[in-house]
Amino acid sequence: MTLPVTVPRQLVVDGRPVAIDSEGYLLDLEDWSEAFVRALAHKEGLALTDEHWQVIRFLRAYWQEHGVQPQVRVMIRHFTALWGPERGSNHYLHELFPRGGPQKQGNRLAGLLRTKGEH
């Protein structure tokens, strides 16, 4: 039995193609850059604000320190302390990242892997 071959998709970042999967996750984490974030956000119809960048930088820093993505409750605790209870809430984080919340859309933009359970 022959399995179907998955052809990577591409996102043009600063004039060069970057391989992504069908949902926009990087295939090579080394391809991440702030230009990648801007290109993917544009493709997803997301207008980036300073708050988006704060979440993206937090996700990347947490990944670099712990080797895993932070759980949503870790993000809520961090951003509640930083922004206050209303803007640090799960609801607000999902408003910022409407296509899957901070764990899906945030991780895609941060150039991180899919979270467990995503297919």
| Model pLDDT for residues 70-113, shown as the tens digit of each residue | 999 999 999 999 999 999 999 999 999 999 999 999 999 999 98
- Taking the CA of residue 54 as centre, how many other CA atoms within 13 Å lie in the half-sphere pointing to its CB? 14
Q: Per-residue pLDDT averaged across 10-38, rounded?
A: 95
Question: 8: which residues sit within 8 A by CB, 6+ positions away?
Answer: 19, 20, 21, 27
- The Cα–Cα gap between 45 and 63 comes to 25
